[in-house]
Homo-oligomer: A and B are copies of this chain.
Amino acid sequence: MNSEVNVVVVGSIGIDTIETPFEKKHDILGGSLSYACAAASFFTNVGMVGVVGDDFPDDYRSLYKKFGINLDGLQQIDGKTFRWSGVYEDDMINRRTLSTDLNVLETFSPMIPASFQNAPYLLLGNITPELQLNVLDQMKDVQFVAADTMDLWINIARDSLDDVISRVNMLMLNDSEARLLTGKNNLRECADTILSMGPQYVVIKKGEHGAMLVTKDRIFLVPAFPVNTVMDPTGAGDSFAGGFIGRLAEKTHINEAAMRESLLYGSVVASIGVEAFSLDNLVKVSKDDIETRFAALVDMIRL
Smallest beta-carbon distance A142→chain B, Å: 27
**CB of A228 within 8 A of chain B?**
yes
Interface residues of A in 151-180 (CB under 8 A from B): none
Q: Total interface residues on A, using CB and 8 Å? A: 28
Q: When the two chains form the complex, which single residue of B210, B219, B227, B300 contacts A220, counting CB atoms closer than 8 Å?
A: B300
Q: Is the interface of A mostly helix, strand, loop or mixed?
A: mixed
Closest B residue to A187 by beta carbon equals B226
Q: Which of B189, B219, B228, B299 interacts with A188 by CB under 8 Å?
A: B228
- Which residues of chain A from 261 to 276 have a CB within 8 Å of any chain B CB? 261, 264
- What is the bound-complex CA distance between A186 and B209, given in angstroms? 13
Digitize A168-206: 1 where CB-to-B-CB distance is under 8 Å, 0 elsewhere.
000000000000000000111100000000000000001
Tell me the residues in window 249-303 of chain A with beta carbons closer than 8 Å to chain B beta carbons: 257, 260-261, 264, 298-303
A229 within 8 A of B: yes
A226-B209 in contact given A260-B303, A264-B303, A298-B303 (Cβ < 8 Å): no
**A212 located at the interface, meaning its Cβ lies under 8 Å from any Cβ of chain B in the complex:** yes
In the docked arrangement, what's the CA distance between A221 and B260, Å? 16
A229 contact set on B, CB distance < 8 A = 186
Instruction: For the complex, give the distance between the alpha carbons of A264 and B299 in Å.
Output: 15
* Complex contact A186–B228 (CB within 8 A): yes
Flag if B300 contacts A221 (CB, 8 Å).
Answer: yes
Determine the distance from Cα of A260 to Cα of B189 in the docked complex, in whole angstroms.
29
Q: List 22 A-B contacts (CB under 8 A).
A: A186-B228, A186-B229, A186-B230, A188-B226, A188-B227, A188-B228, A206-B209, A209-B209, A209-B210, A218-B299, A218-B300, A219-B226, A219-B300, A220-B300, A220-B302, A221-B226, A221-B300, A257-B303, A260-B302, A260-B303, A264-B303, A298-B303
The 9 lowest CB-CB distance pairs between A and B, nearest first, are A209-B209, A221-B300, A221-B223, A301-B301, A219-B300, A188-B226, A221-B301, A260-B303, A188-B228
Q: Which residues of A are in contact with B by a Cβ distance under 8 Å?
A: 186-189, 206, 209-210, 212, 218-221, 223, 226-230, 257, 260-261, 264, 298-303
Contacts A219-B300, A223-B223, A298-B303 aside, 19 further interface pairs with beta carbons under 8 A come to A186-B228, A186-B229, A186-B230, A187-B226, A188-B226, A189-B228, A206-B209, A212-B226, A218-B299, A219-B226, A220-B300, A220-B301, A220-B302, A221-B223, A221-B300, A257-B303, A260-B302, A264-B303, A301-B303
